[in-house]
Amino acid sequence: MSDIVLDRAAAPRPTPKPGIMDIAPYVPGKSKIDGVEHPLKLSANENILGSSPAAREAFSTAFDQLQMYPDGRTTALREALAAKYGLEPERLLFGCGSDEIFQLLNQTFLEPGDNIVQGEFGFGAYAIGARACQAEVRMAREPNYRVDVDELLKLIDARTRIVFVANPANPTGTWNSAEEIRRLHAALPPSVVLCLDGAYAEFCHDPAYEDGMSMVREFDNVVVTRTFSKLHGLAALRVGWAYMPEEMADAIDRIRLPFNVNIPAQLAAVAALADDEFQERSLALVDQWRPWLTQQLGGLGLEPLPSAANFVLVGFPTAPGKTAREADAFLSARGLIVRYVAGYGLPNHLRITIGLEEHNRAIVEALQDFMKGEPA
Ligand SMILES: Cc1ncc(COP(=O)(O)O)c(C=O)c1O
């Protein structure tokens, strides 16, 4: 037995294993403003159009099934996804949000002392799960707020088990080309899992972008994750899925909780997937207002990053009176909730989800007043 185990055995009360208490708990963005009854929430990259009417209808039929366990294989959704995207059903894995799939990957592949590699502004869920496995989290520099292949590769060593790349990324909204992702893959040892997190994949239309699905078929070590939380507006129901090599799905399935996607979630996701009209409307809204918001924010003297997701990250000056933190407070005073992303290592930025026309205009108007030094 190691010293650590002996120490824990002698402890006066149950003691979490080493590393657990060093994990900073995930802090969600604020969703309320004191004294404001109906604030506008543009802080969590949710779908501002709500969710598909067909999905809502399907959800409501679950009332009659509350006494039942869900289908542990998520069969109907598995078949619907396989048919829609031309995927092999046995390569699909479902999770309570894609968050759970990152956890499962970490649990399946990481031993204490192993490491994961991700970008320095990478999505927080990867690291929490890795640390819980007593693995090291290595953060590669992101020059110009973009995941950089060479910076990732510098951190890979014999103990690297998983490389996580969100593409497009959150919170930056930036993305990597197919050529970059394939160059990264080609330089990785074949024993390293490359997880391409496609939570925002549908919002990126550039021809140089690749969602990674065909890489999953070409290689034994590529996983693509997707979610119903963004495009489909079903964040509350927690449905994520992954496309991966069959052997990997078989391994992960052994530790997955048997009923991890509930009945209302499965029913709504199947209906949402079939509702092309809602998906097209959601994409059209982002396509219309993302460039407008980006251009307007730039016109105010701020520094929006070019985004391929359903939000824009915008940089603020560091001069007192003009900072991101003060802008966040100013927007809150006007009933507008955006995401202050200091927790991601970006203390000079705010992340703003694309809203309806009137929401986007309200944000720009408020920030114009803020930059002019007017009172909130
Ligand atoms: C990059 C990224 N990946 C994954 C997720 C998690 O999505 P889910 O709701 O499927 O757990 C999010 C949610 O914000 C995200 O931004």
Say if ligand 1 is within 6 A of residue 129 CB.
no
> Going by CA atoms, what residue is nearest to atom 8 of ligand 1?
97
What share of the chain in percent tops pLDDT 70?
98
What mean pLDDT is predicted for residues 20-43?
87
User: Does residue 6 fall inside a structural domain?
Assistant: no
User: Does residue 211 fall inside a structural domain?
Assistant: yes
Average pLDDT, the chain: 96
361 and 259 in a single domain? The answer is no
CATH number at residue 42: 3.90.1150.10
Say if ligand 1 is within 6 A of residue 97 CB.
yes
Atom of ligand 1 nearest to the CA of 166: 1
Boundaries of domain holding 91:
53-274
Among 6-15, 74-83, 200-209, 233-242, which is the least confidently predicted range?
6-15
The last residue of one of the domains, among 274, 308, 343, is: 274
Confidence at residue 5, expressed as pLDDT on a 0 to 100 scale: 52
Among 38-42, 215-219, 248-252, 335-339, which is the least confidently predicted range?
38-42
Query: Which residues sit opposite 258 in a β-bridge?
Result: none
User: How far apart are alpha carbons 23 and 25 in whole angstroms?
Assistant: 6
The last residue of one of the domains, among 227, 244, 274, is: 274
Nearest alpha carbon to residue 152 among 111, 118, 188: 118
166 and 297 in a single domain? The answer is no
Say if ligand 1 is within 6 A of residue 235 CB.
yes
Confidence at residue 7, expressed as pLDDT on a 0 to 100 scale: 76
Q: How far is the CA of 124 from the centre of ligand 1 (A)?
A: 9
What share of the chain in percent tops pLDDT 90?
90
Say if ligand 1 is within 6 A of residue 100 CB.
no
Q: How far is the CA of 202 from the centre of ligand 1 (A)?
A: 13
Strand spans (E) along 170-310: 193-197, 222-227, 239-243, 303-304
Quick one: pLDDT band at residue 28, thresholds 50, 70, 90?
confident
User: Does residue 8 fall inside a structural domain?
Assistant: no
Say if ligand 1 is within 6 A of residue 126 CB.
no
Handedness of CA 203, 169, 79, 82 (dihedral sign): positive
167 and 303 in a single domain? The answer is no
Q: What does the pLDDT look like over 268-297, one tens digit per residue?
A: 999 999 999 999 999 999 999 999 999 999
Quick one: pLDDT band at residue 37, thresholds 50, 70, 90?
confident
Q: The tokens 């972008």 sit on which residue?
A: 209
Atom of ligand 1 nearest to the CA of 123: 1
User: Does residue 19 fall inside a structural domain?
Assistant: no
Atom of ligand 1 nearest to the CA of 239: 10
The last residue of one of the domains, among 274, 290, 320, is: 274
What mean pLDDT is predicted for residues 213-227?
98
Assigned token pair, 67: 């006494």
Confidence at residue 1, expressed as pLDDT on a 0 to 100 scale: 42
Task: Please state the domain count of the chain.
Answer: 2
Q: What does the pLDDT look like over 257-268, one tens digit per residue?
A: 999 999 999 999
Question: Would you tell me how many other CB atoms lie within 10 Å of the CB of residue 251?
Answer: 15
Confidence at residue 6, expressed as pLDDT on a 0 to 100 scale: 62
3 state SS of 51: coil
Nearest alpha carbon to residue 104 among 213, 225, 263: 225
> Going by CA atoms, what residue is nearest to atom 1 of ligand 1?
170
Say if ligand 1 is within 6 A of residue 45 CB.
yes
Whole-number Cα distances in Å, 118 to 143, 145, 351: 13, 13, 20
Confidence at residue 81, expressed as pLDDT on a 0 to 100 scale: 98
User: Does residue 44 fall inside a structural domain?
Assistant: yes
Query: Which residues sit opposite 194 in a β-bridge?
Result: 163, 222
Among 1-10, 88-97, 120-129, 180-189, which is the least confidently predicted range?
1-10
